[in-house]
Amino acid sequence: MAKLLSGIRVVELGTYVAVPKAARLMSEWGAEVIKVEPPKGEAYRKDIPAIWQLPHSEDNNPIFENENSSKQSLCLDLKDPAAKEIMYKLLETADVFLTNTRPKPLAKLGIDYESLKEKFPRLIYGHFSGFGDSGPDKDRPGFDVTSFWARGGMLTEWSLAESTPNKPTPGFGDGATSSMLVSGILAALYNREKTGKGEMIRVSLLGAALWYNSTGVVQGQPQYGKVYPAPRIPCRVFNPLFKTKDNDWLLLSVPDYAAKYQGILKLLGLEKYVEDPRFQSMGASQEHSPELMPILDEAFGKMATADLLKGLVALDVNHSKLANPADLYKDEQAWANGYLYEQTMGSGDKVVLSRPPVRFASMADEPGRRAPYLGEHSVEIMTRLGYTMEEINKNITGGAVVQHK
């Protein structure tokens, strides 16, 4: 059976994570994705994995694989008028164009929305930015660690008053925002089926952060009297992180306090507190949390992680051990659901990668297709666009096009 997006062509002029990840998601669902890159390749091919001290050779680049598997690569120098004409010819055949290039360079290259909407009235144009297309920060560069995590309030909201805020691993906010971009694209494709008209879609890291952190947007308003970063104590007594005898951290989330607190106390060997009025309601436990938290900290600290996990499962308490990145690639539950897969690089090295988590009953998982080498499909794509080999070679010789050797 054909995949759900079979027949859709996506042209991606994207760098780093968000736009490439959105295009990767569509490629997994059957779209043909053509990634357009400059002659030196985009920064995620070499610069970023080098900074992170990860492999970044042509045939072993696991970070680049994350966002770019299952694509084709067309390498164009868009500053060259001949390359721009190739880009226009490609866009004539495209359903979707995605980019995170900032507005001024797009306009200079003649591939901004205003320049394209009359030429390609059915084209769905998706633009990704750090801070949105209006306002005083519209021209600023933005990465997810700054525009999403820092500006979106989460790093303060999720920190404790007793600690220093921590910088998150890059790419997470990009991934969340890319999902919103794909949602908009799919809505636009549906609308085009009815109207025949293309669409302009704008998504930003800041906008996505405020959407995903909608609870924080509300709780930070002065009428609710909350202050951030908040201290660990006072707190709901079963909701903070607790450290075990094995130096693991456990996170509990117990909104059904009345139904669970007795069982948790017994699991911790604290039966003598079951009738303690300080524990007998959520309100009382919050009021007395400065007294109760040290008791719980000590009890958790005396128990082995395995015993606590087994007991919490038996009590049907919502919980999880804080996973270390060293645990993620071998997570049994993730493998059982197809969320992870093993990819073989061109070098023969193997790496475990994550797969888009949306599952369709009509689509079976397939072996991962590696990310393309820079310009690997330039000749092939231009041939499909109707160029002769003489024209292709002339463009390659002139520097407008790069073909992987």
What integer is the mean pLDDT of 361-385? 92
User: Which stretches does DSSP call E strand in 246-300?
Assistant: 249-252
Cα–Cα distance for residue pair 48/106, rounded to 1 Å: 23
Per-residue pLDDT, averaged over 1-11, amounts to 93
**Can you list the positions of beta strands (E) in 171-322?**
199-204, 241-243, 249-252, 319-321
| 272 compared with 364, residue with greater pLDDT | 272
Domain architecture of the chain: domains with CATH:
9-212+375-402 (3.40.50.10540), 241-326 (3.30.1540.10)
3-state secondary structure of 243: strand
Residue 174 bears catalytic tag: yes
Q: What average pLDDT is seen over the chain?
A: 94
Report the pLDDT averaged over residues 161-172: 87
Catalytic residue, candidates 174, 276, 331, 365: 174
Task: Give residue 158's pLDDT.
Answer: 86
Q: What is the pLDDT of residues 198-240, one digit of tens each?
A: 999 999 999 999 999 999 999 999 999 999 998 887 777 888 8
pLDDT band, residue 1 (cuts 50/70/90) = low
Q: Does the pLDDT of residue 275 top 80, yes or no?
A: yes
Residue with tokens 């690639």: 329
Residues 6 or more apart whose Cβ sits within 8 Å of residue 306: none
**Residues 156-163, mean pLDDT to the nearest whole number:** 87
Q: Is the pLDDT of residue 34 over 70?
A: yes
Give the integer Cα–Cα distance in Å for 268 and 259. Answer: 16
Residue 236: predicted pLDDT: 76
Q: What is the mean pLDDT of residues 170-186?
A: 95
Alpha carbon of 355 to those of 29, 50, 56, 207, 375: distances in Å?
Answer: 11, 24, 21, 25, 25
Average pLDDT over residues 123-137: 95
Burial (CB count <10 Å: 0-12, 13-18, 19+), residue 174:
buried
Nearest partner of 84 among 111, 66, 61, 103, judged by Cα: 111
Q: Which pLDDT score is estimated for 364?
A: 86
In this prediction, residue 233 carries a pLDDT of: 79
pTM of the model as a whole: 0.91
pLDDT of residue 110 exceeding 80: yes
pLDDT in tens, 60-94: 999 999 999 999 999 999 999 999 999 999 999 99
pLDDT digits (tens, 9 = 90+) for 297-351: 999 999 999 999 999 999 999 999 999 999 999 999 999 999 999 999 989 999 9
